[in-house]
Amino acid sequence: MTDESRGIGGTIGPPWSVDVLADLHAGVLDDVRAAELWPLVNADPEARAILEALDATQADLASLAAAPAPPMPAEFAARLEAALAAEAAAAFPGKAQSSPHTAPEQAGPGNAPVVDLAAARRRRNKRLGWAAGVLTAAAAAIAVTVAIPNTSSQTGNPNVAAPPPSGPSVGSDGSGAQALVGKAVGVRDFGPLQNEDRLDACVAAAGLDPKVRPEGIRPVNVGGKAGVMIILTTGKLAQFRLVAFGADCGPGNPAVLFDKVVGEK
């Protein structure tokens, strides 16, 4: 970002540079600088308004992943049907279908042999059933391709698409997570875990006490993986324990992405 209109030179503070607020919001500042800035930002209504706008933009972008896929255009559907019909015709060349209301012809000079009407109907129904099956399978394959492009699978369940990461980005080892503490305290956003019951199952699987209520809960992007970070107190002033769980955590699978203590030692 290259906002040079505000907050350039001297001590960073009101009026705030949008660049600085965006970097703080994304968690890319070092822990010491972020710890200095959060109290100042939280005390400034204008800075908070900018951060809320960034939150709203981030939420709008995340919602695009869950938007329903548009229906296939009629033009392409018609082309697909025509191609399948051509394949069916090529698979059964020269197979004339008898009308169910047409009486069989007698064999004779210049005439075709006598055809059993019931047998002709069975062959016709078999061909129609085959073509319908091809259409159904092709339509299902196209629907899957359009609805869930480029999705990966969660560990242990190949049929469930992994949710896209949301929230601020932090390192795979939790680096940069300390900068999120000031903004996350008091927040209860379960992100990909959706509700408190699922989070409690993850907490219990990690050997923690689900009865201890976190000071804050928010989704985070941990090295490209969707996660949910909780903030726990340690009994020491200005010190917190940050634990992030993967979206696939649950009973017997804590899926801890990082577990670290930050703040005053």
Q: Count CA within 13 A, CB hemisphere, residue 27.
A: 22
Other Cβ atoms less than 10 A from the Cβ of 134: the count is 15
Distance CA 260, CA 265 (A): 12
**pLDDT for res 99:** 44
pLDDT tens string 162-208: 778 888 999 999 998 888 888 888 899 998 999 999 999 999 999 99
Better pLDDT: 24 or 170: 170
* Domain boundaries defined on the chain: 18-63, 169-262
Better pLDDT: 109 or 28: 28
Distances (CA, A) of 19 to 5, 23, 78, 265: 10, 6, 50, 31
Confidence check: pLDDT of 124 > 90: no
Confidence check: pLDDT of 4 > 60: no
**pLDDT for res 231:** 93
Does residue 215 contact residue 232 with C-beta atoms inside 8 Å? yes
**pLDDT for res 118:** 59
Confidence check: pLDDT of 15 > 70: yes
Place 128 in a pLDDT band, splitting at 50, 70 and 90: low
Place 256 in a pLDDT band, splitting at 50, 70 and 90: very high
Structure tokens at 187: 């927040």
Distance CA 220, CA 239 (A): 20
Mean pLDDT, the chain, rounded, equals 75
pLDDT tens string 207-244: 999 899 899 999 999 999 999 999 999 888 888 999 99
Distance CA 189, CA 145 (A): 31
pLDDT tens string 129-147: 555 555 555 555 554 444 4
Better pLDDT: 108 or 255: 255
pLDDT tens string 30-59: 888 888 888 888 888 888 888 888 888 877
> What strands lie across the sheet with 256-263, from one edge to the other?
169-170, 216-222, 225-233, 239-246, 256-263
pLDDT tens string 51-96: 888 888 877 777 666 667 777 788 888 888 888 888 888 877 765 4
Report the predicted TM-score, pTM, of the whole model to 2 decimal places.
Answer: 0.42
Q: Mean pLDDT throughout 6-18? A: 60
Place 103 in a pLDDT band, splitting at 50, 70 and 90: very low
